[in-house]
Structure formats: C-alpha cells, structure tokens
A and B are shown apart, each in its own frame.
Chain A
Amino acid sequence: MATATTTAKLIREDRRDIVRNLRPAELANVGFSEYDRNADFREWCEDNSTSCFRRFQIEDQATYEPPVISDFAIEETRTQFTVVVAYPADGRFRGGTINAVEDAIRADQVKIDTRLGVLNYGSYPSGLDLFQLVETEIERDGDVWFLVSTYDCIFKRAVDLGFTNLVGSAAISIVVSAIESISFNESATLPLALTVSGSETFTDGGIDQTIEGILTAADPMQELIDAMSFATKPDYMWGGDEASGATEIGGSGFDLGVVSTPLQSQTSSVLGSGDFTVFNSSSDSLANTSDSALQPGSGSYAVLWIGSFTDLLSTRYFFGDRDSTGWQLYRQSAGQIVWYLQGSGGGQALTVTGHSADTMIVVLAIIDQTANESDLWTGQGSGNRAIDAGSYNPVTQKMAVGDGSVSSSANMEWGIGAIWKGAVAESLTSTHRSNLATFLGAS
C-alpha cells in the first residue's frame, strides 16, 4: 500500500522550526536560534560564549540500520537525531547561581521534548513514524554548557530507483531509459513493436504511482520490461503475476477503465450511479421491486458489498431477486452466498462457502445478460459454463475471472471479480488493480 514518505532533511527542518518557535520558560525574551555556520558548533560556542545563548543545532547522526520495511517504493528506516543547545554558564538566570543555569536548561529540555517527542506525535510530519527521546545530558565544560538530547527517529523514505512518475507520453522513454539503465544495456535497440496500453493515472495519497498503462514489446525488450515489472506495477500488491496487456475483467462489459468516482465518494446504497449498485452496510438491500437491480440495456452492473463478510452471510436481505429473470445475489442458506445467473430454479453460477475472513469485498458483475440468459443457462453445467457450479472457496482457491468460455454471444460479456483484503491471490492485471483501487478509493 502506498504510504507517504519523507526525508531526513524534511524532518530536521521541521524539528528546527518547532524549536525556533518555542517560548522558553526562563528568560523568554531570548529565544532559540539555529546555528547555521559551517564551523563546528561547539567550538564556535566556546569561542563566543557571550553570543551562544540558546543557539542550537539539530543533526542527523546517520546511524542508519537496515530498514524494517522495504519494497521498491518505500522503506522504513531508523536513525538518530541530536538536538544540541548552548548556554553560557554565567549569572544571567534567576538567582545568578550556577544551579540556575541547570534549572533553565532542564526547563528548556522539557519544553523541547514535549514538542519534539512522542507527546506531540499528532504533529509529526507525514512519513515520520517516531521521534522519541532516548537520552539527554548536560555537558558542563568551561564557559558554555550544552544540552544534548538524542532522539530515535523512524521514518519512511521513498526508495529512489532513479525513475519515477511515469506520466503521459514521456512515460515510454522514461521506462525504456530505466530499463536500459537497470539492465546495463545502454546501447539497446528498441523494437518497433513497443507499445503502451492503458491511460489511467493512479494517485494515492498525493503520491503518483509509477505506472501508466501496460508496456509491451517484442523480445528481447519484453524480457527487460518483465525485469522491470516491479516498476510498472502500482504500489499495492494483491499477489499474482502481472499479465501485461491482459484484457480487463469481463472484457469491455465491466469496464473498470471508465471508473472515475471512488466508491468512498458515492452515496450509500445508490442504485445505478454510474454502472454500479453499491451496498455499504448490512441494512442496505435491493428488494424485488421491478427488478431494480437489473438494469436492462447496455452497460455494466455490479453489486458491491463492503464490510464484514459475516454480516453478509447473516443477512437475509436480497441482493436482487432470485425469482426475477435477472441475476441475483442472496443468502441461500447459512454460510453460503449464491449468485444466480438465472431466475428461479436456475443453477448456481458461483457459491462461496465457509469463508471466515474478517473482511472482504465482493465485486460481482454481469453484462447485458438478459438478452442471452438462455445461453448462459444452457451453458450451466456444461463444459463451457462460466464458473463451475461447485463451491469455490476464495480463501484457498482462485476464483475464475473473466472466463470467456461462455461468451459465445457478443452480448454475453460478463465477469466476476473478487478482491479480498487478505492474502488471497487473485489474478487481476495491474490495470484492473489500478482501476479497482481508484473505484474503491484504496489508500
């Protein structure tokens, strides 16, 4: 899943701004000012003891460790920052004693940590996961004392593979260049068959993904493209291999390529907003009201269930009407969801049983099947039936997707897609994923 990233520089500057804006408890009219010279901070302070009051420096100690999480887009890494603040050890603080200097430093330390540390977690910049005080000390040496606070820092940083943001027509050359670069084949000759299909741009959380469309080419360039497949995939992975250039779910009928309105932006229980019927809770239903779930004519239909699969199994609301001539989704018996492709007495097109996953999203679609329902029905049970009438356990088995074997008629384009928020493998193409994610508002 795409995640916002940041840099050590951004974190340092964010921390710097926070410290700059702090109002000290003691001698508040002397604020914190950053030391921005090239010379060593401590040496400068010791040479300018009368000038160093509340000068500070934040440094990345660059104590990087192997990342906790890493993929080709981000990695979560750990380092340490030190915040060093200088104080002249003179009599300017209340009481004029040396203890007063320490008291003032301690007061500042609390102020600083309150704003920089975990107590201010809510104000961390995006991508910063942890900024936690692990050690603080007062270095008492000579005319200048130093408050030295060490912070553990965990943040996500973007993995820089040297190519990003494949946008528009430039994407081709960028990808090719990247392919050449990564294969150390700077002198590669590009085959004429190099093509790009698909045009959707997927932006997640403000971060552009690294794919637009599917790049195909004749060998040997295709091998290079395959080698680059990680870079031509979007940043969320539901498993399965890429099938460059594959058709979309259900062919053109269930055209996710035209999805533009994220599900999360759609009104709950909206029928026919676009080509989708959306159920957002277990209380939503489509009763047998003029076969409202069946939208005749051309276009796509979908039933989506978002929420607990258990709720879906336990509800007795009908998604469609089993007695209609349209498709249906309903709870046939405990623990089963049956999708009928035909009316009463029709055969089961898909049965999902025994699912125990906490959450699932089911996307079901059938396209313009009314004109060819008999064909579909005829196909049931035969060798070219769309989906085996047997039980498909989505936990352990892939669902057939877009099996075109029944598409004997041009009007019988149909498809079934299912996405689980789990480890269930699903053979969706990257385009499907991108478009479905757009539709579902994936984050």
Chain B
Amino acid sequence: MDLALLIQTIANSIVAGSIYAVIAVGLAMAFGVMKMANFAHGEFFMAGAYVVYVFYALLGWPFPIAVLMAVPIVGAMGIITERLIFRPTRSNVLAGFMATAGLAFILQVLVGQAWGVGLMRSVPTPYMGAADILGAKIGWQRVLVVPVAIVMLSCLWYFLFKVKYGKALRACAQDPDTARLQGIGINKMTMLAMGISGASAGLAGALMAPIHPVTPYMGHGVILTAFIVVVMGGMESIAGAVLAAVLLGFIHTFVTTLSDAVTAQMVGVACMAIILIVRPEGLLGRVKA
C-alpha cells in the first residue's frame, strides 16, 4: 500500500469510526440503563435518514435544520418504544429484544408505504466537493461527520457527568436498586435513556442520508455493526463503545481496502465472537459480580 492510499484509508477510517461511535453510543446507553437491547436501532438510524429526505430533499428546508429535526423526532420514537415495549418486558431482556425485532418490521413497512419501497431515494449532497487532507480526498459531506460526532459525544459526556439528570442516569445504570432508594425514578431514567438512544441514532442517520442510499432497509447493515461495537466495547460502557467504534472503523476500512467488504464483515464478526468468548465483559466493561 503506497503512502497516498494509506493516508486516504486512514482518513476514511476516521470518518467510519466517527459514524460508528455516534450510532453505537446510543445502543450502549440504552443497554446500560435497565438492559434495553434495541433490535430496531438500525431502523431508528433509517428514520433519521428519512427525516432528512423529507425535510431537505422533498420540502427544501436547509440541510442543518433538517438534520436537527431528526433529533427530537427519532428521540420521541425511542421514548415511545420504551413505554410500549421495554417497560412491559423489563423483567426479560430477551423478550424486549425480540419485540423490537417486530418493531423493526413495522418501521420498515410504514416508511416503505409512505415513501415507496423499491428504488432508493436520493438525497442531494448539500456540500459537494472534497477536502484535500495531506493528499487524501474526502468529500466535505463525510468530513462533516467527524466534528459533529465530536460535538455530540462531548455534549453527551457533559450531560452524563455535569448535569443532574445525566448523573442520575449513570447511577441508575450502575446500580438500579440503590438509585431507586435515592429517589431516582427508574421509569424516568429509562425514558431518558431511550430518548437519547433514539436521538443519537437519528442524528447518525440524518448525517448519512446524503452519503448512503436511503431505503427502508438501510438499517440492516447498521445493526450488526452497532452490536459488534457495543459488544466489543463492553455492553453498557459508553466509553468502551466509542473506543471500539474507532477500532472497528479502522479494521473495517483497512480490510475493505486491502481485501473486500465481505471479508471486513467477517473480521468484524470474528472479533465480536472472540471478545464474547475470551473477555465477555468487553474492552472497557465491568465484570458483573
């Protein structure tokens, strides 16, 4: 691999890692708080992309506004999911997970009926052209992902460590019983967690809408990667998810460039399997007593 290709691939990897991080962080957070595993996380991502499709491509609103619209809309979807699916199945993690598989079907059909299944929707690229970074050419649209991801993750960090509700969320994740004793309402926390989970997935989808073909099934590819990242990082560790996301971004991109996308998928899945077997708590997860 010559230097130019190496720089290009590193640049591609950073972009990939950023997107994986934004997607996976929401999943890790939901799982951390009361073990809500969302099979439809990929569909939340898809919903975010469609929000941009509707507001930007169809209605002509400015791209940044369309992206911001995805946050509350998909966040609300997350909250509804918590209320209707996760709360009744709280005692059974598997049941909640499987029920969200049903939710995934529902979302795919609804979106498909509303905006047409079949041909992919094209979202115009708001920022055409490429940045030239040390000889590597990255589209501005992709470059945008990195600062947005950093801002989003920083806000999340600030929220979790400096804001009352965020600290309550962390307390709930670490020890729900003690948290309850301290007067923290579990229901409020689970709603909050799912809201953030949905919002971040929606934001990721919104950013990717001009980059990724927009179809009702675009969540398929996302969900496996998201779970690999979360498992590798440690199921409920947000920091772990970020670390694993960047790692996986590099692994996927390099393997794809050197070999092909299928091999990259295989390597990713193999990493996940190895972690589960050798160190089930993941890179940064806590070993449960």
The reply to whether chain A is a binding partner of chain B is: no
Interface residues of A (CB under 8 A from B): none
Interface residues of B (CB under 8 A from A): none
